[in-house]
Amino acid sequence: MEAFYAVLPVFLLIAVGAAVHMTDVLPENTGAAMGLYVLKLALPVLMLHILSGASRLDLAHGGFWLGVIGAQMLCYLLGYVVDRLFSRRGTGPAIISGLACSASNTAFVGLPIVAGLLPGDHEAMVVAGLAALTPNVVVIMAQIRMDCLAGSAAWGDGRGRIWKLLRLFLLGNPLLLATLVGLGLACSGLGLWQPLDHAAALIGSTAAPCMLLALGFDLRQKLVLALRRNGGHTVIRQAWLLLCKLGIHPLICWGIMHLAGLPPLWLGVGVLMSATGTALVASVLAEVYSAVPEEAALTAVLCNAASMVSLMLFIFLLQGAGCL
């Protein structure tokens, strides 16, 4: 039941977004504007807040990072290649498919589940907090690739080329910049100045509700359009994305962590976080870059709904293996 109660608020906020849109209280472009706010400000600030508070010892578990990030990278590549080979829709849709298979909803679903399963277990929450950071790897990769596709840089030569690359990939990517700054603060032991850290926490706390409201704002139109396009191919594609994200992804993570010899708790929490549904930021990226946003919204809804069943299955398996 922990999985059910963790996922339910996600759908309640999406429903609120859909209801607000039906009342015409807010402008038509509100959903897109909120998605841009999450991607460019709230989510980067949230990552800065979380990372800057991590300790060097927390960051030193190589097998954990290999398992969680390695599984994400493999599933991203799998989702991307399968879409390019069989759907033949271009690079943008393939990137979104790769994200749907690899980016986990760790922060908004995984953390509440771990807190409910293991109340008061500080080590478990540390592991869950670290795992909540890892989807940024594939998200940053996808965003950089999308920026290239969108022609955000007019490639030049020499120093001009280097500056444009730096501006596009680092200065133009707040999520990557915040991650690098947060890692630097964590490794140096400096952390954020307390009032600034509190302000960052306040801004970061708006990421989840704004992301969910943005998804729900024009959800009905997106779902209808996604189901009308390509007919039966949409059903087959969605079935594949759900299988990869909810089944293949956590199993790969489990295998890598087992081979790495991680402690049971680290393995159990890491696998459980990997078993969550597709991160909602995938639908935000699809909306911002106009890359099959209707299909991305459909995947986000279906995958997080189906994760209520798959998460309960993985909780049962991990408890049986003595990892939770």
**Domains annotated on the chain, with CATH:** 2-20+30-316 (1.20.1530.20)
Q: What percent of the chain has pLDDT over 90?
A: 29
Neighbours of 57 (CB within 10 A): 8
Give the pLDDT score at 168. Answer: 55
Q: Please state, rounded to an integer, the average pLDDT across all residues of the chain.
A: 84
Measuring CA to CA, which residue among 10, 7, 15, 9 is closest to residue 219? 15
Is the pLDDT at 315 greater than 70? The verdict is yes
Most confident of 84-93, 172-181, 208-217: 84-93
- Put residue 244 in one of left, alpha, beta given phi > 0 → left and psi -120 to 50 → alpha: alpha
Give the pLDDT score at 9. Answer: 80
Q: What is the mean pLDDT of residues 153-170?
A: 53
**For the chain, first and last CA: distance in Å?**
15
Tokens of 120: 């008061």
pLDDT tens digits, 2-52: 667 767 787 788 889 888 888 888 888 888 888 888 888 988 898 888 888
Measuring CA to CA, which residue among 178, 188, 196 is closest to residue 133? 178
Is the pLDDT at 158 greater than 60? The verdict is no
pLDDT tens digits, 228-285: 665 557 788 899 999 999 999 999 999 999 999 999 999 999 999 999 999 888 888 8
pTM above 0.85, yes or no: no
